[in-house]
Amino acid sequence: MLTGESVPVSKTPLPHFDNTLPWKVCGMGDYRRHVLFCGTEVIQTRRAGPGPVRAVVLQTGFNTAKGDLVRSILYPKPLNFQLYQQAFKFIVGLAVIGILGMIYAICVYVIQKVGPRNTVAMALLLLTIPVPPVIPAALTTSIIYAQRRLTRKKIFCISPQRINICGQINLVCFDKTGTLTEDGLDLWGALPCQGQSFQSVHSFSGAPLPWGPLCRAMATCHSLLLLDGRLQGDPLDLKMFEGTNWEMEEHRPAEGTASLPESCLLVKPGPAASPAPVEGILILHQFPFSSSLLRMSVITQECGKSGFELSMKGAPETVASFCEERTVPAVFQAELKHFTAQGYRVIGLAHKKMELPQGVVFSDLEREELESGLTFLGLLVMENRLKSETRPVLQELSQARIRSVMGSEEGGSGGSRDDNGGSLLAAPTLVGRPSGAIHSPALENSSGGGGPASGVSGASGPGVASSDRLAIEQEQLREAQYSESVIRTVEASRRQSTTRIYNASWVAFADWCRAKGLCPAAASAPQVLDFLQEGHEKGLATSTLRRQVSSLSTVLGMCVNAPPLSQHPVLKQFLKGATNLKPSVVHRFPTWDLPTVLQALTEAPFEPLREVSLQLLTFKVIFLVAITSARRVLEINALSSRADLCTFLDNRVILRLDPSFMPKVNSPFHRALEIILLDFCPHPSGEREKWWHKLDVRRALHIYLKRTASFRRSEALFVSIDRPPGEPRSPRPP
């Protein structure tokens, strides 16, 4: 019986078993780790505390998880698809028509005194015309034929009735690990933290990880167990432990050691590990990982010492929320986003030393009290590579206009929904966020005066104009000791259009500051909010205010000790209040009739294409390309007439974006997308097909390229017919 687990799972006793609250509440989130389900095979036991082991039977028979599974197999729930319901209603309607026709025929033939043989024959004929008796056989034959075609493509269907439903699919949901990506994880590197700043990245492909708090946490903070002399457990924990080159063995403390459990795990440096000043470390107690808590912790003790240490790993933002603020680097969010945007899986680690009374029972300790005041140790970066067939499949679905969605719950390690190339599955970071944000005194202790706020960037360097946002940003990066090449790369992260918008917003803020006698580069949070409040009172939309905040964050949030300006709690509340006070207006635009427009394009003055003016021909071609490709204006403007980017085939034309164009989602996948435009009735035979052929986008585009070839001065697909002719046509309407 499948349980859904590919590796052994540790089960732990309920905390505070003498509590009067419901046992699921005491389970702290994932109560299933305290339950032995029917069909579970117990492969190893270890005493977790004093006293006998007690268990309570919760459910029996078909009420268990195994029984519910068996019941669902024996008595599956019927699936009523809307297609089947509508088809049944349609057949019933035809049957009613047939019965009425039969009754009418019988009545007429009886009145006309036709013989019984002819009357019965005509009645049955009228009954079988609406509902042919061979309909079930025809449907079954078509399904069998479709199933054989699928089998030839190595697609096996256990429910043939679902084949008809597949034609209506417009959304496909994928799991990530094991489906889009490989099953295993590989260690990419570790980013140690020391003195509220990240150190250089350690690559596991070279020398072993040096001894330190981070190495100790990686060697101890896991849920691995020894089974027949082999390590078993979560693949992520296994990879992390193997990266330290340490070893694990069972350990039984000597008699009279009251503070240690009867049996625990001992980890010690292996032959290939870096030198460590410890003989071994005992893993005394585990607080297991929970998908609701997004973290796990262990209590450890060095051999021969009396002190204890707690280590934690989990989603980076969750771990950071339990750490002392002074130990979390100010660039934590930026570093995390840097790795997750490239598709890496990121884990945060932290620890703290603590003193526990002699003979303490670890199972009686409060987890919330222990997991506080930690020291942030750094980030562990792992990569989960895409399968070779993932990219072609997603591209094929995209070309078929089928939306692809990845649904994945990245357990206790944080992560992203992006592939290693940072392109195919580009999406926001998917890490477990704690209930509370990570705050810094920066931008919070600022006063309303004109002086700079605590943690906010001071005045710009000498010779930098206060209204030049780009120059101030570059100067601040130089003061932070970033090289010129790094600064140029950072500045290239924004589009030119975004840079122009940010510059305009900063100029408006600088003018407002000068009118108030303030320094723009040293503005405090209350001063920024006063500026936004004036804009709100003048009628600016909330989206404009948010754009201004993004612009100001590029300068006022560049200080090492300052969090992003957009994360300031009062500012977030201000924007929410502005949205409530002035909700966005829903504009009701008059609808337009597409058939009327298409009808007009098939008549004069848009036909015949070889004789109409270039202006009308351009209008028609651009409209047909836009409505058949459903692409953005900037993407249509980036199409090229080069032979390798505009390919005409027998029944379609393939258009590709200019390689130098930067789409809104700048990734290899989006830059390599093809626009495939099929032809409409290339060889028309009737009036209807001739009408359709006049809307053939391939025909119109081919004629347009021929008529503009004589004066083209650009490789752009659409060129201007005005002065100067032949130049790239602007994407904006005149």
Cα dihedral across residues 377, 298, 204, 7: positive or negative? negative
| Helix, strand, coil percent content, the chain, rounded in steps of 5 | 40, 15, 45
Nearest to 326 by CA among 158, 437, 160, 196: 196
Peptide linkage before 116 cis (omega within 30 of 0): no
593 among known catalytic residues: no
Pair 376, 193: CB distance under 8 Å: yes
Residues 262 and 714: their CA atoms lie apart, in Å, by 80
Q: Exactly one of 175, 183, 511, 722 is catalytic; which is it?
A: 175
Residues 418 and 180: their CA atoms lie apart, in Å, by 10
Residues 668 and 422: their CA atoms lie apart, in Å, by 8
| b (16+ CB within 10 A) / e for 674-684 | ebebebbbeee
User: Residue 415: which region, alpha, beta or left (left: phi > 0; alpha: psi -120 to 50)?
Assistant: left
* CA distances in angstroms from 158 to 139, 150, 154, 161, 283, listed in the order given: 17, 12, 13, 9, 48
Pair 511, 531: CB distance under 8 Å: no
Residues facing residue 250 across a β-bridge:
265
Place of tokens 């262990």: 298
Annotate 136-180 with DSSP letters as a single string: HHHHHHHHHHHHHHHHHTT---S-GGGHHHHTT--EEEE-TBTTT
CA 53 from chain centre, in angstroms, equals: 43
Token pair of 578 as six digits:
């502005």
| H helical segments located in 480-568 | 484-491, 496-516, 525-537, 542-556
Q: How many CA atoms lie within 13 A of 322 on its CB side?
A: 28
Nearest to 432 by CA among 317, 312, 344: 317
CA 479 from chain centre, in angstroms, equals: 35
CA 77 from chain centre, in angstroms, equals: 32
Catalytic residue numbers, as ranges: 175
